[in-house]
């Protein structure tokens, strides 16, 4: 950088290139006529000049100086000031270099922790050793990385590799006793990172280099990790570039130790979550088996008993005409009880099902109504509208309850269920051709009648919807169910 004072006859545009930085401070004097800087100054009309080298790492990398077109204008104080400026510039250069190095380490650990080893991703998808090695290798500024795991036989085996050029395994799945891997054993024993540097022909027969590293590896950082009480291993970060070998300083080792600890934490967390998922699946299987057993018991024991009762009642009707009306009443009650038992058996089997609630309601209605010898007409206006799970679940339960009521009370021959999707809402109309419905039946009686209708009203109220039943003794019954698709909204009755 050139700074020109007012009135200076020297034109900075004509300065041209500077000579090489001097090894020692240079002062333009008569006896320095053959010096490179003296020749450069004379050719440009500079009569007074002081040049001080800018040092970095013990060698001159630049120069700083003062120049004048008048002789004798620079003094010894100017030389001291220039030495101070040179020292400050050198310190600034070193500081900027360290700052760039720290920024690089920060970027590297940020990529490793926030991208490759993100906790939320590990909670969603159980990671594998290979996947973790690839992700860590892609995030680190290194040639390759490998994950070696300690097995039950006290051996280390490579479980995953990643990076720009991961080493090719000479023997797939090969393992070596930890006792033969001195550096890895040291890292695990002392629980700290170990740095090893290699020359091209240095220690070619060393166990770690033969088993785990590439032949061109110039340095490797061995970092231990622990994943729970049963799993130990090391993360090997290898570097083949000569220019990157000095970067294996204590700061980078500390950063990579943090990455290795996060790797162990991710593995431990993932295994704990997987154990919990397995336990949940086992419990669900047990519940499913128990539901199926209960459904069989209800269907077989209760259903068979009611069927036998129906057969006996029908046989009595042929021999006892006097009590025909009473027997017909008993027959209807037994038939309703059997239909109800079938509905309960189906409901128990479907309990906990993970399918679409509305599809489950369709299957429930088809199964229960066919068992009661009642025709079902299910019409749904297909659209791309997505129904929230909570809304679909409550609507499905109301459909199930309404179908159960039809089987138990309506004595219907046909049922029509129509699903429509007006803007922002879902509407279900259920109509049967049974004996009808009066408003007196909507109240809750002491024997429990009417609780189902009250439950339906409460279900729809929770999701902001409406429930209505209307009918007459000669025209069947219609049920209207309507709810908003957006949770938090409420429809007006």
Look at residue 64 and tell me whether its pLDDT is greater than 50. yes
Kindly state the DSSP code that residue 387 receives in the 8-state scheme: P
Q: What is the predicted pLDDT for the residue at 4?
A: 44
pLDDT for 467 equals 92
CA angle 259, 262, 265 (to 5 degrees): 155
Give the span between the Cα atoms of 401 and 452, in whole angstroms: 7
**Top-confidence residue, 246 or 147:** 147
Distance CA 412, CA 402 (A): 13
| Per-residue pLDDT, 328 | 66
DSSP 8-state assignment for residue 178: G
Q: Quick one: DSSP state of residue 234?
A: E
Give the range among 208-212, 259-263, 295-299 with minimum mean pLDDT: 295-299
Determine the average pLDDT of the residues in 467-473: 80
pLDDT band at 127 (very low <50, low <70, confident <90, very high): confident
Longest dimension (CA), the chain: 149
| pLDDT (0 to 100) of residue 240 | 86
Average pLDDT over residues 41-57: 85
Q: Which pLDDT score is estimated for 302?
A: 64
Q: Where in the chain is the domain with CATH 3.30.565.10?
A: 356-493
Determine the pLDDT at residue 420. 92
- Chain center to CA of 36: 65
Residue 483 CA to residue 464 CA, distance in Å, equals 6
- Arithmetic mean of pLDDT, 432-444: 71
Q: Which of 153-167, 302-316, 436-450 has the highest mean pLDDT?
A: 153-167
Percent with pLDDT over 90 in the chain: 9
State residue 95's pLDDT score. Answer: 76
**411/58: higher pLDDT:** 411
| Pairwise pLDDT comparison (320 vs 155), residue with the higher score | 155
Three-state DSSP class for residue 144: strand
- Beta carbons of 142 and 111 less than 8 angstroms apart: no
- Cβ 417 vs Cβ 365: under 8 Å: yes
- Residue pair 331/314 in contact (Cβ under 8 Å)? The answer is yes
Please state the rounded mean pLDDT for residues 376-399: 87
Answer yes or no: is pLDDT of 287 > 50.
yes
Mean pLDDT on 129-153: 85
Q: What percent of the chain has pLDDT over 70?
A: 70
Q: Is pLDDT at 354 greater than 60 in this prediction?
A: no
- Please name the CATH architecture into which domain 116-272 falls: 2-Layer Sandwich (3.30)
Is residue 93 over pLDDT 60?
yes
pLDDT of 309 above 80: no
More confident residue, 87 or 111: 87
pLDDT score at 465: 92
The kind and range of the H/E element at 196 are: strand 194-197
> Given this model, what pLDDT does residue 487 score?
76
Residue 144, strand partner residues: 163, 238
For the residues 429-436, what does the mean pLDDT come to? 90
Quickly list DSSP for 278-315.
Answer: HHHHHHHHHHHHHHHHHHHHIIIIIHHHHHHHHHHHHH
pLDDT value at residue 419: 93
CATH superfamily of 12-111: GAF domain (3.30.450.40)
Q: Is domain 356-493 annotated with CATH 1.10.10.10?
A: no
210: pLDDT confidence band, cut at 50, 70 and 90?
Answer: confident
Confidence tier at 247 by pLDDT (50, 70, 90): low
Give start-end residues of each CATH 3.30.450.40 domain in the chain: 12-111, 116-272
**Phi and psi at residue 168, in whole multiples of 5°?**
-80, 135
pLDDT score, position 3: 47
pLDDT of res. 218: 85
Number of alpha carbons in the 13 Å side-chain half-sphere of residue 340:
12
Sequence-separated (6 or more) residues with CB below 8 Å from residue 371 = 339, 342, 343
- Top pLDDT among 371 and 464 is at 464
Structure tokens at 212: 């785990």
Over residues 43-54, mean pLDDT: 87
pLDDT over 80 at 400, yes or no: yes
pLDDT of residue 436: 82
pLDDT score of 417 more than 90: yes
pLDDT at 232 over 80: yes
């Amino acid at each position: 950088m050139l700074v020109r004072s007012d009135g200076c006859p020297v034109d900075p545009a004509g300065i041209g290139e500077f000579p090489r930085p001097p090894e020692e401070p240079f002062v333009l004097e008569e006896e320095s006529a053959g010096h490179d800087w003296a020749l450069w100054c004379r050719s440009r009309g500079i009569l007074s000049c002081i040049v001080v080298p800018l040092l970095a790492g013990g060698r001159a990398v630049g120069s700083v100086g003062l120049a004048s077109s008048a002789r004798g204008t620079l003094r010894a104080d100017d030389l001291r000031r220039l030495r101070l400026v040179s020292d400050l510039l050198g310190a600034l250069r070193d500081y900027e270099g360290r700052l760039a190095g720290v920024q690089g380490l920060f970027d590297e650990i940020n990529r490793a922790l926030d991208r490759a080893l993100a906790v939320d991703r590990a909670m969603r998808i159980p990671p594998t050793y290979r996947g973790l090695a690839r992700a860590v290798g892609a995030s680190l500024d290194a040639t390759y990385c490998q994950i070696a795991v300690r097995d039950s036989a006290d051996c280390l085996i490579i479980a995953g590799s990643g990076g720009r050029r991961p080493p090719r395994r000479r023997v797939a799945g090969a393992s070596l006793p930890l006792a033969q891997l001195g550096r890895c054993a040291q890292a695990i024993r002392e629980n700290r990172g170990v740095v090893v540097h290699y020359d091209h022909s240095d220690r070619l027969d060393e166990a770690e280099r033969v088993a785990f590293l590439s032949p061109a590896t110039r340095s490797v950082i061995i970092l231990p990790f622990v994943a729970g009480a049963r799993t130990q291993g090391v993360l090997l970060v290898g570097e083949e570039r000569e220019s990157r070998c000095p970067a294996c300083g204590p700061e980078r080792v500390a950063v990579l130790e943090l990455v290795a600890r996060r790797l162990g934490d991710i593995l431990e967390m993932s295994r704990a979550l997987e154990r919990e998922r397995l336990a949940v699946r086992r419990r669900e299987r047990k519940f499913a088996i128990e539901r199926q057993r209960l459904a069989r018991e209800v269907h077989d024991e209760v259903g068979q008993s009611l069927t036998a009762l129906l057969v006996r009642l029908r046989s009595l009707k042929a021999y006892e005409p006097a009590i025909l009306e009473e027997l017909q009443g008993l027959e209807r009650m037994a038939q309703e009880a059997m239909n109800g038992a079938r509905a309960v058996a189906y409901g128990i089997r479907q309990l906990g099902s993970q399918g679409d609630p509305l599809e489950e309601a369709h299957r429930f209605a088809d199964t229960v109504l066919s068992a009661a010898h009642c025709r079902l007409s299910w019409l749904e206006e297909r659209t791309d509208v997505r129904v929230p799970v909570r809304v679909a679940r409550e609507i499905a339960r109301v459909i199930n309850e309404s179908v159960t009521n039809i089987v138990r009370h309506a004595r219907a021959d046909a049922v029509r269920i129509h699903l429509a999707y007006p803007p922002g809402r879902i509407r279900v109309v259920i109509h049967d051709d049974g004996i009808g419905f009066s408003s007196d039946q909507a109240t809750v009686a002491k024997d429990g009648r009417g609780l189902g209708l009250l439950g339906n009203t409460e279900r729809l109220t929770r999701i902001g919807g409406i429930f209505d039943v209307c009918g007459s003794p000669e025209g069947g019954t219609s049920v209207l169910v309507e709810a908003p698709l957006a949770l938090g909204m409420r429809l007006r009755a």
